[in-house]
Structure 1
Amino acid sequence: MELTEDLARSYARIALGHVTRPYPYKDDHVFASEADVRPPRTAHPAFFGSFDWHSCVHGWWTLLTLRRLFPATPEAEEITALADETFTEEKLAVERAYLDRPEARGFERPYGWGWLLALHAEAARHQDREWGARLEPLARAFGERFAAYLPLLTYPITVGTHFNTSFALVLTRDWAGERDAALVATIDGWAETAFADRSDYRGWEPGGDEFLSPVLTAALLMSRTWPRERFAPWFEALVIDNGWLKNECEPAFVSDRSDGKIAHLDGLNLSRAWALREIASAIAPHSAVADMRALADRHFAAAEASVAGDYMGEHWLASFALLALLAPR
């Protein structure tokens, strides 16, 4: 689990190959009338590639992150040119206007919302370009949506797919930390209500199409919300004391990588590697840390070779591999 320049260039080539690939495309679009029939590029001139809107967004997060970390590579120059072409005021205004449709209230909620905020946070780090400023109106719109949505969400959504609440809130809280103190407070209060009293996890994980761990994403959110002295004993009671982490959290087997849903399990292995690394850092020093890091390595190794290959995984897996590689060691 080390992000070398060669690996970074490989991931960059993968993402460059799909963020502007228009088809196949899975559209999250509600038709109100015949007037809403249109190709994806019309509604989403910035994020029309990568099979779906959210994958295009986090494909761009991957590209900008790699540009920042490896600015001297040939791919960084190509990323810069393509980002200048993509993140224009005109194109992003169309993306923002799409959200004003009444039928777009649930568009990409919450997964795409969280990833757009992560993209904005990364774009703002590139101070030699205007990408962050141009993305900010779109990011602020999604931040406002989270602030309005969470008070209505009585129960957390704990599935291991795009509807998972905790994963999106981890990304959102990281974005809001220096930008929106009120949103941070809203997230923290919601998380407290949703998860503070949870313990002794016995969920049937993994599900056959999951790319997130329901329990580890919730734990990762709480690690952002609570100080170590409160989080560590809560995490022990959640998955360590009952043996779940030791006996149940094994890398998932992927039977068919050409099936987009089954290929999600490669993402589960990568996202677990990320979460395990992040949580291990949050509870350190703790007797479980070394085992958790070793388990993270096993999960990463189970999926690493599948980041490239079939397009059903290739259009999104590099982002999750990069999350894992950037996690504390």
Structure 2
Amino acid sequence: MTQPPGRARPLDTAQVIGLAHATLDIEAAAVQGLKARIGESFVRTVERILALKGRVVVMGMGKSGHVGRKIAATLASTGTPALFVHPGEASHGDLGMVAGGDLVIAISNSGETAELSLILPLLKRQGVPLVAITGGRASTLARHADEVLDSGVEKEACPLNLAPTASSTAQLVLGDALAVALLELRGFKAEDFARSHPGGALGRKLLTHVGDVMRTGAEMPTVAVDTPLADMMREMSAKGGIAAIVDEALHVQGVFTDGDLRRLVEKGGDLRALRAGEVMHRHPRTIRADALAAEAVELMEQHRITAVLVVDADGTLAGVVHIGDLMRAKVI
């Protein structure tokens, strides 16, 4: 093992791994201990949030604040409007962010966080429902709360039993449990998740349609049935290794690809006399413009092709989508 600069002796590998294992065991036990405490208060909290006309406002100081930011972000991305308000800033004006119709989730392991205690009476005066996530069931926060979600743990993973470790994990897991219950009861779907994550890979897969990435107009490689093979090859070379054979109304008659050309060459014979209608596939793979781009990817993978014709309901050519177009759109 490489010795870090300034260290007098090498690390004890077994000791380090043992400490990591002990931390995982303590935190896993803390999470498992929550199951017995998920009951009516949790159900009522879910009911309150589902009935909200406003937003969920999450508050917490220190490590509980970091957890609160994550809980608010998870709620917001899964169909429950939510934001984080710092309790210290709340008493200096930011409490104005909390409006009628909102619900506050306040997080504190002890339940005696001074910054939270200061604003609890003000929240009560506004008539804002308060849900406490706390390990202090007899605390000031718990006494003021309409619902209490018990996040208490037997001990922290910190050997000094001081640094929030198991307790912050328990808080985070309770927040995730709320978010999952809410999204399921709202009928929240993958498409809804994608709409709040348009920049992510899932968002691109579920929001990008074939019509968004296909080639249209002059970029479509099209030829007539009686086009000589040589002319069709030039069209293919210029526009991506595929040719759509169409009639005057752009109704698709067939398709010809680079792979078809290779197979013709392998057979031999005089290719110069051939025309598009003689060599085309008469039943090409097609897709609609309103299909998801991910469906085009699946179609290409299934049939081992690199381009698909895009057609309207009556078989009129609307565009062509290539695997390169899908890669540039980061669908794959």
What's the TM-score bracket when you normalise by the shorter of the two chains? under 0.3
Q: Which has the higher contact order (CA 8 A, sep 6+)?
A: 1
Provide TM-score, normalisation by structure 1: 0.21
Provide TM-score, normalisation by structure 2: 0.21
Structure of greater Rg: 2
